[in-house]
Amino acid sequence: MNHELLKAAAESNQWLAIFPELLLGSLALLLLALEIILPKKQHTTIPAVAIIGQIGVLLYQLLHFNSVFVGHDTFAGLLHHSANGQFMRAFFLLASILVCVLGTIALAKQKMPRIEFFHIVIVVSAAMMLLAQSNNFILLFVALETVTVGFYILVSYFRTSPLSLEAGLKYLIMGALSSGLLLFGIVLLYGVAGNSTLPGSSADAMNFNALHTFLAANSHNFLAAVGIVLVLSGVAFKIGAVPFQIWIPDVYQGAPTPVTAFLAVASKAAGFSLLLILTQSVFTPYEYLTTPVLGLMAAATILFGNLAALTQHNVKRLIGLSGVSHAGYLLIGVVAAASQPLAIGAIGFYLFAYLLASFAVFGVMTHVAGADDADQELEHYADLAKTHPFLGAVLAIGLGSLAGIPPLAGFMGKLLIFIAAFKAGLHGLLLVAIVGVVISIYYYFGWIKAAFFETWRAPLLEGETDPRPVRTPVGVAAGVTLATVALATVVLGFYQGAFGDWLLSLKF
């Protein structure tokens, strides 16, 4: 490489463009340093530092939302900053803060090292933020692996629980397989795009722009098609789309509840932002291939997720499988986005509503769960509305929003996706989606039923203990967080204001 090129590359290193990520990295290191410096008694303040620090980063991100980098590439084309990317960065930060709040509740019930948990969560979040802005397969892969490796540890974090360890192993094997598929796809694309006998070939085919030029010039190349399908399969693992959903129920059940929430919301959202980047810019010449593949996946995912969730009694498995069906609705949005830019805003709104609703539900779950985190049955929710009306109300709002019931935000997300799908002419997928929504009513309302409706229980025999674990009293921080999340779900259902306006004008 000659001198000029290196210089140009160095000048494009705009560190300010990734300042939030840098801040997060420093915060993560600071947590570890604090653990060494502070006396043991004051270790309880470290989670607060983690949460407050991240709130600061989130504020920074929001204040610099329309930064000068939007619309430009930095770091020699490794990163591309877009409005959608800015939104996703804020999204991951918010998710990470909420995970940390849930973490403080769940970790209090275990004898586990605390600080590493927050450290890893923050590092993973920073990686996700980079992922949402990637413009190069190398950066994409490195960021994705950082996320995945972080999750290997987080999933098996409760190492005294066999189920948590099993989940970690399962996630490791499945994650390795999916990374392998992804890598194989990338290599195929790189290889075929580097073939100098083909028009539009490029020496730097890892770069999305160069790859796009090549794909546009060779829109029916068989090897490239195989590569694209493999890359999509790798991403489909992350979002849990059929047929790559097999790991979901076990991993969701075994993982600590805050990690399950992290997987369900942030990891899934990362997958979707990646999918949007790929289908909206790089793979556009292969729409004839990606559209049917993703469409078929969407239909199968919706049906499988909903049908499989019907029979679940463990709420973690239930929410995992219901999350599979949400991935299906979102996939409809991705398919629709090929012709309707409206769908991008719809996906953003859906993800945001899904975040709020999921954290409302997971927040209640951490309070209801006992010392055995994997053992969370529907029966444990009996009488919740009577003994803990606040938790009951938050649960009902969260589940209602997930089920897509007006006037909650989840309904608006579904509505926007449906409108986009209608405009894109996806009538078959819409039909499947309706069937899915109707099926989902059964298990979401079954859960509400368990918490609200009184049922007769046999009185406890002598020596028998109540199978329901003792519910954690709601602390101030957790109470405020849950109330905010639930209130935001209701308000966003009624009034979207400038947020809705901005999202709908979003183009890629």
205 touching another protein, by CB under 8 A:
no
By C-alpha distance, which of 219, 245, 420, 432 is closest to 335?
A: 420
CA distance 53 to 32: 14
Among 25, 194, 370, 500, binds another protein (CB under 8 A): 500
From residue 136, give the alpha-carbon distance in Å to each of 197, 206, 207, 504.
23, 5, 4, 27
**Cβ 265 to another protein shortest distance, Å:** 23
Output 77 or 345, the one with its CB closest to another protein.
345
407 touching another protein, by CB under 8 A:
yes
Output 288 or 495, the one with its CB closest to another protein.
495
480 touching another protein, by CB under 8 A:
no
Output 195 or 505, the one with its CB closest to another protein.
505
393 touching another protein, by CB under 8 A:
yes
Number of residues engaging another protein in binding (CB under 8 A): 40
* Part in contact with another protein (CB under 8 A); list of ranges 12-20, 139-147, 471-479, 495-503: 495-503
260 token code pair: 């399950």
Among 23, 369, 405, 486, binds another protein (CB under 8 A): 405
120 touching another protein, by CB under 8 A:
no
CA distance 269 to 88: 8
Centroid of chain to Cα 221: 32
332 touching another protein, by CB under 8 A:
no
Output 407 or 469, the one with its CB closest to another protein.
407
Whether 467 contacts 380, CB under 8 Å: yes
Peptide bond into 407 cis (omega under 30): yes
499 touching another protein, by CB under 8 A:
yes
Residues 6+ apart with CB under 8 A from 416: 342, 345, 346, 349, 350, 504
**Cβ 493 to another protein shortest distance, Å:** 8
505 touching another protein, by CB under 8 A:
yes
479 touching another protein, by CB under 8 A:
no
396 touching another protein, by CB under 8 A:
yes
**Cβ 344 to another protein shortest distance, Å:** 12
**Cβ 354 to another protein shortest distance, Å:** 18
* Residues β-bridged to residue 79: 74, 134
Torsion of CA 240, 244, 249, 255, to 10 degrees: -70
From residue 103, give the alpha-carbon distance in Å to each of 112, 116, 296, 331, 507.
11, 11, 37, 30, 35
**Cβ 500 to another protein shortest distance, Å:** 3
Among 195, 494, 507, 508, binds another protein (CB under 8 A): 494
CA distance 125 to 455: 42
Residue showing tokens 């877009």: 82
Q: Looking only at residues 423 through 462 of this chain, which bind another protein when binding is defined by CB under 8 A?
A: 423, 430, 434, 437-438, 441-442, 445-446, 448-449, 452-455
* Part in contact with another protein (CB under 8 A); list of ranges 35-43, 186-194, 350-358, 417-425: 417-425
Q: Alpha helix (H) ranges present in 196-341?
A: 208-217, 222-239, 248-254, 257-262, 268-277, 287-310, 315-337
CA distance 413 to 51: 28
CA distance 193 to 228: 12
Peptide bond into 459 cis (omega under 30): no
**Cβ 353 to another protein shortest distance, Å:** 13
- DSSP, collapsed to helix, strand or coil, labels residue 80 as strand
Whether 450 contacts 381, CB under 8 Å: yes
Output 145 or 383, the one with its CB closest to another protein.
383
Site track 259-298 with another protein (rule: CB under 8 A), x = hit: ----------------------------------------
333 touching another protein, by CB under 8 A:
no
313 touching another protein, by CB under 8 A:
no
341 touching another protein, by CB under 8 A:
no
Residues 6+ apart with CB under 8 A from 156: 164, 165, 167, 168, 169, 171, 254, 255
Output 225 or 439, the one with its CB closest to another protein.
439
In the complex, the residues that contact another protein under the rule CB under 8 A are 342, 345, 393, 396, 400, 405-407, 411-412, 415-416, 418-419, 422-423, 430, 434, 437-438, 441-442, 445-446, 448-449, 452-455, 494-501, 504-505
